[in-house]
Amino acid sequence: MDRRGPRLGTNMIASHRIRSFLHVLAITAIFPWIVVGCSGADDTPKALVVESADSFRQALDSINALIVQSPKSAALYDYRSQLYLAVDSLPAATLDLERALRLDSTNVNRQLRMGDLYYRREAVAKAKERFEAAAKLDPKSTQAKLKLAEIDLLLRNYRESMNLVNDALRIDQHAAHGYYLKGWIHMETGDTALALSSFATAVEQDPQDYPVYIMLGKLSAAKHDPLAVQYYRTAITIRPRSVEAWYDLGMYHQDHGEDSLALDCYSHIMEIDSANAIAWYNTGYVQLVHKHEWQTAKTSFSRAISLEPGYVDAWYNRGLAMEKLDQLDSAAANYQMVLSMREDYPMASAALDRLGSKGVRIKMREGKKAQ
């Protein structure tokens, strides 16, 4: 029986690798409340507030008019790219930033942001080219070196990645992201002690670095070190609505028999995201396996299934809860549903054998016999 939902946030590539996107993207990530600024070069508006789809269109019309007047202005295409990024129109943002670089390829920051945008679109080779161009323009750019190090880490070129990180740290020994990357390199090469040390150094340089606290929590939890709780709590202080942090903290408590604390974490997830099936599943698991509360477990698994009908483990565990409640026909139906979704689920097959030995009709098997 699976005792938990899938781990969240364990893949760095998905959420943590390129974390230093242009600052405008961070500001404009939540539409419709977007503030976009520009330097004022080439008559670009110094500040623009976009409060709705209509005001976004007005802003876009304004920039388009300026581009018609100054079609050779790299800054205007750059600015329009940022507007497209504000509404997650990545193809349009890419085209405009490419236009800006064709007009002026000597802007280091623009090269870096172009690389970030390619990386976001999973065009890793193109991203690397832009980071290399930025590094060539500014050999002292720690950002360029660290972004190249991230690419090498992604490609598992650990030695090259570490060399780039060390080069960056020689330029700026307080670059927190460099220590974060060192932590990942050590972790992926199997040295968890050095990984912990590097991550700890990263938060010394930047005490608000949420992803590092998550990694410190995960490594500590793997060692059953109670410090994991402190790290996850700190991550939650930085991002109170982080489902990832609440889930990891809940799993630590669940793994260590602290049921009430685990359930409290899952309740927080439900408040943040009422459609989160994993929180309901884990709640049901604690109720079923730890607390032996069959009816409440059944209810929790039912809620998980209603949110995610293909949640195979929830169907199986609801069957177990029903079996404990002596609702044997319903339990059999759940186990059969599991096997209809995943034929190679030995525990469901064993459960049906168990129920069959008690005289429960197994409709799926009767159908096969009739054939």
91-105 pLDDT, tens per residue? 999 999 999 999 999
User: Would you state the pLDDT for residue 40?
Assistant: 36
- The residue among 186 and 7 whose pLDDT is bigger is 186
CB 55 within 8 A of CB 149: no
Using CA atoms, how far apart are residues 13 and 11, in angstroms rounded to an integer? Answer: 5
Using CA atoms, how far apart are residues 137 and 229, in angstroms rounded to an integer? Answer: 44
> Which tokens in the block code for residue 27?
């500001």
User: Would you state the pLDDT for residue 1?
Assistant: 55
CB 79 within 8 A of CB 63: yes
Using CA atoms, how far apart are residues 7 and 281, in angstroms rounded to an integer? Answer: 12
pTM for the model? 0.78
Average pLDDT over residues 235-254: 98
User: Would you state the pLDDT for residue 2?
Assistant: 55
User: Would you state the pLDDT for residue 53?
Assistant: 77
- The residue among 367 and 323 whose pLDDT is bigger is 323
Domain residue spans in the chain?
Answer: 278-371
The pLDDT tens digits for 110-142 are: 999 999 999 999 999 999 999 999 999 999 999
User: Would you state the pLDDT for residue 79?
Assistant: 93
> Which tokens in the block code for residue 349?
């097959």
Which string of b and e fits 329-347 if b means at least 16 CB within 10 Å?
ebbbbbbbbbbeeeeebeb
Q: How much is the CA Rg of the chain, to the nearest whole Å?
A: 26
Residue 250, pLDDT > 70, answer yes
What DSSP state is assigned to residue 256? T
Using CA atoms, how far apart are residues 327 and 333, in angstroms rounded to an integer? Answer: 10
User: Would you state the pLDDT for residue 365?
Assistant: 53
Average pLDDT over residues 37-58: 52
Using CA atoms, how far apart are residues 340 and 163, in angstroms rounded to an integer? Answer: 51
CB 275 within 8 A of CB 307: yes
Using CA atoms, how far apart are residues 196 and 278, in angstroms rounded to an integer? Answer: 28
Residue 25, pLDDT > 70, answer no
Residue 15, pLDDT > 80, answer no
Residue 366, pLDDT > 90, answer no
Instruction: For residue 41, give the nearest of 8, 66, 24 by alpha carbon.
Output: 66
CB 150 within 8 A of CB 17: yes
The pLDDT tens digits for 145-197 are: 999 999 999 999 999 999 999 999 999 999 999 999 999 999 999 999 999 99
Distances (CA, A) of 321 to 287, 343, 353: 10, 21, 17
The pLDDT tens digits for 269-281 are: 999 999 999 999 9
> Which tokens in the block code for residue 314?
């929830």
Q: Indicate the fold that domain 278-371 takes in CATH.
A: 1.25.40
User: Would you state the pLDDT for residue 155?
Assistant: 96
